[in-house]
């Protein structure tokens, strides 16, 4: 076994605190990774506070992991000690169902294993995530990092990057299309950057007027303040696709009205409480579609990492020490993230 130091929520009402535990020693197909950085996703907060009602405690969140290979099992052929690698939201899946065969492990018919809170989809063992100094993962779920610097800012690609890249690819976003991104947080700011790099014309839709300038800097050509009815009315029927990253329940009709005929709004935000049900007339009059999307498969995550490296895309981050996590959660709840917190895991040595 390997001794690991991390940070855990012991229940949904208490701040995260230092937590010692053990990982398995690498099996033949396993890669042991020393974690350098871990991004802070809003899903970590939903889980640590048991907002989705399925948290196994103690809970060690974190699924935006960048680190270096420290050891490999005897059958590992994709990685060597010293390689720079990433781990995202999944660490296992059945590997034989039709979804896994298509490289869509996130839709594994037998339930993928999450990097943390892993037995929620079956199995007995709770998995512990990346708010820790190391992790052991089978090589099929380890990603190669080809960025060479700014590694802390690469970490958020492992969830925020793939969760926005995958729907943008699936709905064939590209040149000639006008694409709305709703919410400028961790996911949203990656969505703006990636949609722009794919060649689309990007419109940021935000509740925060003070994020307008950042929206334009990150790649949007236009910003709509969603709380301003005049701006919303002026943008009706103008968008081909909307990526909605908002982490709280809100009025979907106001956003659906921005879609052109046959346009799609894809939800990736996963609020604890449901959105008010949309009005069917928002959909049927212009044959609009409302859809959802879950992270992305391993092959697509590698494709996204390579795409971002090629286009010079990383996350805009605020680096925090591990002990800053509870303050970071509070700021996240206030929409005060510019635009992703990333934990410097070297700080764990002080805890």
> Rule CB under 6 A: which residues touch ligand NAP?
41-43, 46, 159, 163, 183-188, 206-208, 211, 245-248, 250, 268-271, 293-295, 332, 335, 337
Q: How far is the CB of 311 from ligand NAP (least distance, A)?
A: 20
Q: From the list Zn ion, ligand NAP, none, pick the one residue 304 interacts with, judged by a Cβ distance below 5 to 8 Å according to partner type.
A: none
Helix, strand, or coil (residue 43): helix
Among 43, 47, 50, 134, binds Zn ion (CB under 5 A): 43
| Residue 55 binding: pick among ligand NAP, Zn ion, none (C-beta 5-8 Å cut-off by kind) | none
Q: Please state the φ and ψ torsions of residue 57, each to the nearest 5 degrees.
A: -105, 150
> How many distinct helices (H) and strands (E) make up the chain?
10, 17
What is the Rg, in whole angstroms, of the alpha carbon atoms belonging to the chain?
Answer: 20
In whole angstroms, what is the distance from residue 349 CA to residue 322 CA? Answer: 9
Q: 135 touches which of Zn ion, ligand NAP, none (CB within 5 to 8 A by kind)?
A: none
Residue nearest to ligand NAP (CB): 185
Q: In the complex with ligand NAP, which residue's Cβ is closer, 184 or 202? A: 184
- At 10 the three-state DSSP class reads coil
- Give the residue from 225, 209, 65, 202 showing the smallest Cα distance to 141: 65
DSSP 125: P
Q: Are strands 113-114 and 289-292 parallel, antiparallel or unpaired?
A: unpaired
The reply on whether position 342 binds Zn ion by CB under 5 A is: no
Work out the number of other CB atoms within 10 angstroms of the CB of residue 72: 22
User: How many amino acids of this chain bind Zn ion (CB under 5 A)?
Assistant: 3
Q: Which two tokens stand for residue 121?
A: 């989809």
Binding mask 82-101 for Zn ion (x = CB under 5 A): --------------------
Q: Which is nearer to ligand NAP, 36 or 295 (CB)?
A: 295
Least distance between ligand NAP and beta carbon 23 (Å):
24
61 versus 185: smaller Cβ distance to ligand NAP: 185
- Please tell me whether residue 41 binds Zn ion under the rule CB under 5 A: yes
- Kindly tell me which of 41 and 314 has the beta carbon lying closer to Zn ion: 41
Least distance between ligand NAP and beta carbon 4 (Å): 24
- When asked if residue 159 is in the footprint of Zn ion (CB under 5 A), the reply is yes
Nearer to ligand NAP, 83 or 316 (CB): 316
CB of 295 to ligand NAP, least distance (A): 4
How many Cβ atoms sit within 10 Å of the Cβ of residue 75?
A: 12
CB of 89 to ligand NAP, least distance (A): 7
Give the span between the Cα atoms of 251 and 278, in whole angstroms: 8
Backbone phi and psi for residue 225, each to the nearest 5 degrees, phi listed first: -90, 115
**Nearest residue (CB) to ligand NAP, 159 versus 200:** 159
Nearer to ligand NAP, 73 or 271 (CB): 271
The CB-of-202 to ligand NAP minimum distance in angstroms stands at: 14
CA separation for the pair 253, 239 (Å, rounded): 14
User: Closer CB to ligand NAP, residue 26 or residue 167?
Assistant: 167
Q: Which residues, other chains included, contact 301 with Cβ-Cβ below 8 Å and sequence gap of 6+?
A: 88, 143, 158, 162, 295
Provide the token pair at 252.
């979907």
C-alpha distances out from residue 152 to 190, 199, 233, Å: 15, 26, 40
Beta pairing partners, 143: 86
- The residues that touch Zn ion, with contacts defined as CB under 5 A, are 41, 43, 159
């Amino acid at each position: 076994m390997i001794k690991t130091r991390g940070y855990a929520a012991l229940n949904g009402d208490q701040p995260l605190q230092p937590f010692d535990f053990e990982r398995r020693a690498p099996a033949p197909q396993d890669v042991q990774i020393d974690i350098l950085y871990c991004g802070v996703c809003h899903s970590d907060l939903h889980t640590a506070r048991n907002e989705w009602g399925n948290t196994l405690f103690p809970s060690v969140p974190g699924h935006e992991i960048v680190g270096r290979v420290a050891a490999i099992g005897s059958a590992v052929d994709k990685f060597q000690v010293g390689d720079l690698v990433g781990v995202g939201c999944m660490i296992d899946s059945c590997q034989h169902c039709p979804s896994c065969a298509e490289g869509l492990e996130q839709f594994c018919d037998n339930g993928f294993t999450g990097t943390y809170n892993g037995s929620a989809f079956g199995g007995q063992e709770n998995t512990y995530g990346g708010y820790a100094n190391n992790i052991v993962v089978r090589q099929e779920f380890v990603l190669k990092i080809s960025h060479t610097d700014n590694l802390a800012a690469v970490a958020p690609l492992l969830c925020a990057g793939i969760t926005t890249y995958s729907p943008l690819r699936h709905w064939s976003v590209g040149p000639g299309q006008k694409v709305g991104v709703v919410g400028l947080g961790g996911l949203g700011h990656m969505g703006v950057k990636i949609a722009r790099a794919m060649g689309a014309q990007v419109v940021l839709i935000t509740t925060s007027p003070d994020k307008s300038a950042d929206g334009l800097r990150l790649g949007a050509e236009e910003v709509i303040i969603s709380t301003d009815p005049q701006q919303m009315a002026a943008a009706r029927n103008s968008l081909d696709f909307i990526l909605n990253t908002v982490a709280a329940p809100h009025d979907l009709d106001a956003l659906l009205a921005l879609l052109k005929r046959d346009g799609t709004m894809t939800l990736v935000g996963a609020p604890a409480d449901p959105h008010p049900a949309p009005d069917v007339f928002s959909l049927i009059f212009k044959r609009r579609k409302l859809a959802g999307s879950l992270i992305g498969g391993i092959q697509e995550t590698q494709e996204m990492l390579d795409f971002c490296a090629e286009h010079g895309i990383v996350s805009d981050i605020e680096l925090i020490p591990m002990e800053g996590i509870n303050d970071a959660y509070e700021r996240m709840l206030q929409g005060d993230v510019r635009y992703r917190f990333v934990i410097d895991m070297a700080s764990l040595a002080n805890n």
